[in-house]
Copies of this chain bind each other. A is one copy, B any other.
């Protein structure tokens, strides 16, 4: 991986990397943070090496990673142009929901404390959802709500899509209170995570199995990666 990174670094123009949104963001925050390093500038090249060393064709990413994947495709094109058609350009696989906000509306993140985890039980989820801020214009239970400015409704659109029309109507006509509405959302989220939670629990109870999967995958990946590196060294006449 480090070796492929080194070779790709030889074909990746600095200007492409300086244009990366994540890098530009970091440079702006520089005043207070660590100085930006060669490693950070080259991070998309490292990601690219990670993907193509196993000939990854489809990469499941969030919307914010699309510029990195595009850069990866450009590096692949340049490598192929210089050394012969070898790598395939990987493609992005976006999920249906491209971005899932945290309970405060910001990007979901452990460090913001606004995330709902795959492992959260229904009680924890209810507590987290209860803390969400709703339509600020709805002060009394009897006031009609405005779903279009309510984060809870945004999540209902994702988790309660089948009954979304009813949720909207109940809110607008004040037939349902915010707490009730949140508890419904919490149930829908908990339901959608139930199978993950169960799978996770089963796996955790059988630790040997996880290690077995890791060992197996590792072996599989190493074999592919070794072959890739042998091919690459050949192409580079090393």
Contacts and interface: CB of A to CB of B under 8 A. Distances in A.
A211 to B, nearest CB: 19
Contacts of A46: 6
A38 B37 contact: no
A176 interface: no
A69 interface: no
Given A9-B42, A42-B42, A14 B2 contact: no
A79 to B, nearest CB: 12
A97 interface: no
B35 A13 contact: yes
Contacts of A14: 36-38, 41
Contact of A12 (B10, B15, B38): B38
A12 B42 CA distance: 11
A72 interface: no
Interface in A142-178: none
B9 A39 contact: yes
Copies of this chain, tallied across the complex: 2
- Most B CB contacts (10 A, CB to CB) among A11, A14, A40, A45 go to A14
A36 B9 contact: no
A11 B41 CA distance: 11
A39 B36 CA distance: 17
Interface string A1-36: 011011001111111010000000000000000011
Nearest to A42: B38
Contact of A13 (B11, B17, B37): B37
Contacts of A10: 37-40
- Most B CB contacts (10 A, CB to CB) among A11, A37, A45, A46 go to A37
6 contacts: A6-B39, A12-B39, A13-B36, A13-B37, A14-B37, A38-B38
Given A9-B38, A10-B37, A38-B45, 9 more contacts: A2-B3, A6-B6, A10-B38, A11-B37, A13-B36, A13-B37, A14-B36, A14-B38, A38-B38
